[in-house]
Amino acid sequence: MKRNIVIALLFTLGLSRISSQETNPAWGFKLSGFIKNDIFYDTRQTSILNCSREGHFYLYPDNVLYDINMNDVNANPGFHILNIQTRIRGDFTGPDAFGAKTSGAIEAEFFGTSENDVNGFRLRHAFVKMEWTKTSLLIGQFWHPLFPAESFPGTISFNTGAPFMPFSRNPQVKLTRKLGRMTLSLTAYSQRDFTSSGPEGYSYKYIRNSGLPGANIQIRIPAGEIFTSWAGFDYKTLRPELKTTANVETDATIGGFSVYANTMIKTKPVTISLMGIYGQNTCDIAMIGGYAVSEITDTVKQFKTYTNLNTANFWIDLSTNGKKIMLGIFTGFSKNLGASDPVSGAVYGRGSNIDHLFRISPRITFTEGRLSFAAEMESTTAAYGTMRDDGRVINTNNVSNLRFLISTIYKF
């Protein structure tokens, strides 16, 4: 804890020193962030498998868990208060380089890097950006290209609509080119805090050992002042094992692709954002899905082939644009579409025993100056069941949780 406090203070003081001492007009610096307090009450339990950071990053409720008297232990409420989303950011501008305008950003928070590091000071974004007339290049850690950074839901909850929408930050290289009114982006990325599942649990090693970065291509299409649309394709390759359980080297990999489209409709009174995603092996972006062993091709050497678990996802978010009072509502739906090939072995991922998820969460925010008070009611239902060998889930039972959230946000 002392180490984290010292790091945070040095970070703040260092940025302040840069701001106060730099007089060259070619340089610029802006410090921003917010202090956020979340108070939440759940009608049902949620384990570390279905949320993170003591329930703060909430995905969906736990399945039924019976005691010896056939009482559902998970049908008990929970209450917590957390401030770990408190955040600080520094934005920089500097002299031109290689004919481009240069800028950069560093953003961090107290969310920690794991469940054992709650309150820990962790990196969110850290990137440099170069901008020419029609081309820009971003290098560093930023939102995963599947995350709709220009049109994401305005939920009060830190989950920002996950697991119905992609949520991840990744080290990456992103090249963007203007094509008339449209823009085309190409991104190569790795994994750090948000990772894929595999034989050794969640780890960055599976994509690293494949020898290939994840790849994304996206096109942005504005249509006047009101409509903007995005569409794209994403592909990543994982190598789950370097050697089998029989101690034999293996080069088996699993590749998964996702296609997506989202639209933002922005008018003076309201903003509407919506997105649809077909995804394979999407557990690394905080969604349900993953992959599984489809066949053991050599029982002696334990060579395996793998199959993707596929999902369809849709969400829509509506928000008013008032300055003092803002109303909003988020709705999301995820559906398990099964496996590409029959499942015959271990399953790696999230929610493989869930047929579908549904959420609706209305919210209201009151703002005066830089201080906001917000309230949100989030109802999430998970249809738990039994996974067949085709990856689909049958004999489902709906389990629901109602979360009441009150937040205070002070921006600076």
- Using a 10 angstrom Cβ sphere, with 0-12 exposed, 13-18 middle and 19 or more buried, the burial of residue 211 is exposed
Contacts of 60 (CB under 8 A, 6+ apart): 46, 50, 163, 351, 354, 357, 380, 382, 401
Q: What is the DSSP letter of 5?
A: H
Which pLDDT score, from 0 to 100, does residue 116 have?
84
Which pLDDT score, from 0 to 100, does residue 14 have?
55
Q: b/e string for 313-333 if b means 16 or more Cβ within 10 A? A: bebbbbbeeeeeebebbbbbb
> How many domains in the chain?
1
Which pLDDT score, from 0 to 100, does residue 20 have?
45
CA–CA distance, 11 with 87 (Å, rounded to integer): 12
Q: Is a pLDDT exceeding 70 seen at residue 233?
A: yes
Range 345-366 average pLDDT: 97
Q: What residues make up the domain containing 190?
A: 2-411
The chain-wide mean pLDDT, for the chain, equals 94
Q: Is a pLDDT exceeding 70 seen at residue 11?
A: no
**This prediction's pTM:** 0.92
Which pLDDT score, from 0 to 100, does residue 23 have?
55
Q: Are 265 and 259 in contact (CB under 8 A)?
A: no
Range 291-315 average pLDDT: 98
Range 172-190 average pLDDT: 97
Which pLDDT score, from 0 to 100, does residue 7 have?
55
Strand partners, 143: 169
Tell me: the pLDDT tens digits for 286-302?
Answer: 999 999 999 999 999 99
Alpha helices in 97-225 (DSSP H): 205-209
Which pLDDT score, from 0 to 100, does residue 338 have?
97
Q: Following CA atoms 88, 94, 96, 101 in sequence, which dihedral angle do they give, to the nearest 10 degrees?
A: 30
Choice between 149 and 54, residue whose per-residue pLDDT is larger = 149
Length of the chain: 412
Strands 254-266 vs 270-280: parallel, antiparallel or unpaired: antiparallel
CA–CA distance, 280 with 383 (Å, rounded to integer): 20
Tell me: the pLDDT tens digits for 332-347?
Answer: 999 999 999 999 999 9
Q: Report the half-sphere exposure of 90 (CA within 13 A, side-chain side).
A: 17
At 356, the amino acid letter reads: H
Q: Domain of 342: which CATH number?
A: 2.40.160.10
